[in-house]
Amino acid sequence: MKRIVVLTSGGDSPGMNAALRAIAKLGAAQGLQVFGSLEGYDGLIDGKFRELTKVLSDGAVSVDIEVDAAGGQGGTLIGSARSMRFREKEGRARAADEVRKLGAEGLIVIGGNGSLTGAHAFATESGIKVMGIPGSIDNDIGCTSTSLGVDTALNTIVEACDRISDTARAHKRAFVVEVMGRDCGYLAMASAVAMAADAALIRESGKTEDQLVDDIRAVIRNGFARGKRRILIIKAEGINVPCTRLVRMTEERMKEEVANLEIRATVLGHVVRGGNPSYSDRAVAGRLGFGALNSLLAGATDEMVGWLPPLPQGGTPTSDSSVVRFPLERVLEETKSLIDGTSPVTKRRVALMSAASGVLSL
């Protein structure tokens, strides 16, 4: 194997550039040319590639200077997109032709559920060797305890909530802060514990709109009654009730309960997705990149490298004891169960959050 392609797909996450840098450096060290597919799977279909390594005049391979510098930056240097064309077999066949035309024999896909679904289909249809790396700030990928960007996103949420807490205490206010997490409430749960927030509202709880409002009312009423000056409630975006609506409904029902009540809604939105990757995300990106590339060179295909798998799931060990390989089919099955709530991992998270709810509000 002399050439490979790497792409970033779906929602970007801090650490993607660190993974690109690691793969390029490790590839260059082994005389391997590494190309990036521009704009995710669309770049594969259109044959739009960028050299992440350079062949020098003496035949040695070196890392592109911009790739080296971008390793500590957020986003993704080669762009990312959700490709409708790649969902079709015709699009995947065209992509395989472009990869072969480039002379590449392997592909590394960095992304979330949709990206890894595409990687699995491509591997089974094209015969080109494919490895996946989990990249999703929501931490909703199976067979891995974390994905690229999760730690940075949590740090961003904690910093934002620290600032919100300052102004909340100054004015004796309650805040409902919405964070990302469309199908998985992990960011809301983990940041609520780190912030000692008064409550976390997550889709996995299965509560109705009225039940959510009642929970918010109880937390605010009891908190202010105990002399608190700041009430912080963290809401996952997966709850299909807008943050502002929850606040308006709560204020309306509490007019007679708390004098001079002030509740504010803050949606952090894409602020959570951006920013330079933390130490943890850079380190995990490097080690997953190392595991993915070495696995590809060893002949592995249609697999993903996971970080410290949360459950014993029969993966294949790598030379790094923290990195384990799993068939992409198994990863996608576990991801589905994480999202629909049937996974033991999801059940454990919800149970721990339920147990902590009585403590958070104190």
The widest CA-to-CA distance across the chain, in whole angstroms, is 80
Query: What distance lies between CA 219 and its chain's CA centroid?
Result: 30
Nearest Cα residue to 108 out of 11, 13, 22: 22
pLDDT in tens, 175-215: 999 999 999 999 999 999 999 999 999 999 999 999 999 99
**CA gap 118, 235 in Å, rounded:** 30
pTM recorded for the entire structure: 0.96
Strands (E), the chain: 3-8, 33-37, 49-51, 53-55, 61-63, 106-111, 129-134, 173-179, 199-201, 230-236, 263-267, 303-307, 316-317, 323-327
- DSSP 3-state of 104: coil
Nearest Cα residue to 292 out of 107, 143, 128: 107
Which two structure tokens, joined as six digits, stand for 132?
A: 């996946």
Q: What's the confidence (pLDDT) of residue 362?
A: 57
Nearest Cα residue to 294 out of 313, 320, 326: 320
Region at 219 (left for phi over 0; alpha for psi -120 to 50; beta for the rest): alpha
Alpha carbon separation from 290 to 162, 222, 300, 323 (Å, rounded): 35, 51, 14, 9
Low-confidence ranges of the chain (pLDDT < 50): none
Determine whether 340 is an active site residue: no
**CA gap 244, 171 in Å, rounded:** 19
The Cβ-side half-sphere exposure at 1, using a 13 Å CA radius, reads: 22
| Catalytic one of 64, 138, 151, 198 | 138
Domains and CATH numbers, the chain: 3-149+277-340 (3.40.50.450), 150-274 (3.40.50.460)
**CA gap 243, 249 in Å, rounded:** 10
